Amino acid sequence: MYQLLPRLPLRPRIGYDQPTYRMRPDLRKWRARTIWYSPMTSHPRAWWRVALELRIRRSNGDSFQDFFSKMMEKTRGSDFVRVRAFGALGDMGCDGYVISSGEVFQCYGAVNGESNKAAYVVKKMEQDFATAKTKLDGVMKSWTFVHNLTDGLPVTILQSYTKLSQENPGIDIKLMGLEGFAGELFKLNDDSIGELLGLAAQAEDLIALQPMELRNLVSDLVQLNSQLTAPATQIKPVPVDKLELNKLPIHWHQLIQTGWQNSYAVQEYLSRYHDPLAGDSIAQLFRNHYAQLKAQNLCADDIMSHLCEVVVGGGPVAPSRQVAAFAIIAYFFESCDIFEDHASKVAP
């Protein structure tokens, strides 16, 4: 059974149609021991960092190229030129071009941000570069291969990239993945980011958890777990420094800590849910996915993003759904044994 935290009475705040919940006194001290604290105002960009990864991983082919072009048009303005294929001319190895720097961009968007065909990606990258070098000689000063392989690149792609760079010292050859997207995107103001990735929950959303969103997510997760056949595993105690122990990046610190303020509402809802094993079921779902992702040698950041996708599902995620989703993620992060712990630092 997952680790059910001690039940305390609800303390609704006055002034809202639906009761919301304050941080429980017995958890406040535990959470205060984390090394970093995030004010509510920083939550939107933390969510957008996750939303960016989900967006580019879910995009492929033309949709990936279109998102890249929209972002670059916002960050570079008229200095960026969107390029598309014209009949027999093709795109000449160029999906976008920055006039001032002579930088050529070529996009590759794999389905679900994964590519089990490393040889194909290497061949495409080398052929696209060769085409651009031949067709765009005189205007191309640098060439960037833009990809959506968010979980990491096969080593053969790095070998090919190194070889191309060594053979073409006069051209600045680069790779652009998730971090490159983030570097461009977060040059923008919040309104512009919202136009690309949708609205993010604000402080007023975080203190007004919507019961219907929580109900829908819990129901979806219980149903999703019912389709799995993996064996149950024993729950271990939760380490008090779990965020730091797993080297989760700052944006995940922000999102989990903001989710904690509503995690008591998740516990209260599960305690009254018509299926008394719903909490066990969701905990098992998280553990199964965590085990599968860990077996792929993914880093903690990538694992959290995949788990987030399990919770929020596909498509746009409304602010009210974000709040409920991170309340659930935060609750099960602290109450079941996903991510690593160590025997010397566990909650008593």
Nearest residue to 325 via CA among 207, 221, 250: 221
Domain ranges of the chain: 25-32+201-335, 55-190
State how beta strands 142-147 and 172-176 pair: parallel
User: What gap in Å lies between CA 302 and CA 287, rounded to an integer?
Assistant: 15
Please state the φ and ψ torsions of residue 314, each to the nearest 5 degrees.
-90, 165
Whether the per-residue pLDDT at 172 is higher than 80: the answer is yes
User: What gap in Å lies between CA 19 and CA 14, rounded to an integer?
Assistant: 8
Whether the per-residue pLDDT at 90 is higher than 50: the answer is yes
Does the CA dihedral 178-184-188-194 come out positive or negative? negative
Whether the per-residue pLDDT at 13 is higher than 90: the answer is no
> Where is pLDDT greater, at 339 or 117?
117
pLDDT of residue 80: 97
Residue 67: pLDDT band (50, 70, 90) is very high
User: What gap in Å lies between CA 59 and CA 109, rounded to an integer?
Assistant: 7
Residue 91: pLDDT band (50, 70, 90) is low
Nearest residue to 255 via CA among 304, 309, 316: 304
Whether the per-residue pLDDT at 119 is higher than 80: the answer is yes
3-state SS of 153-178 is CCHHHHHHHHHHHHHCCCCEEEEECH
Whether the per-residue pLDDT at 73 is higher than 90: the answer is yes
User: What gap in Å lies between CA 84 and CA 86, rounded to an integer?
Assistant: 7
In contact, 188 and 74? CB cutoff 8 Å? yes
Q: Which of 39-53, 227-241, 292-306 has the lowest mean pLDDT?
A: 227-241
* 98-123: average pLDDT: 89
For the stretch 279-294, what's the b/e string if a residue is b when 16 or more beta carbons lie within 10 angstroms of its beta carbon? Answer: bbbbbbbbbbbbeebe
pLDDT digits (tens, 9 = 90+) for 159-169: 999 999 999 99
> Where is pLDDT greater, at 335 or 198?
198
pLDDT digits (tens, 9 = 90+) for 332-345: 988 765 666 554 44
Q: Write down the CATH number for the domain with range 55-190.
A: 3.40.1350
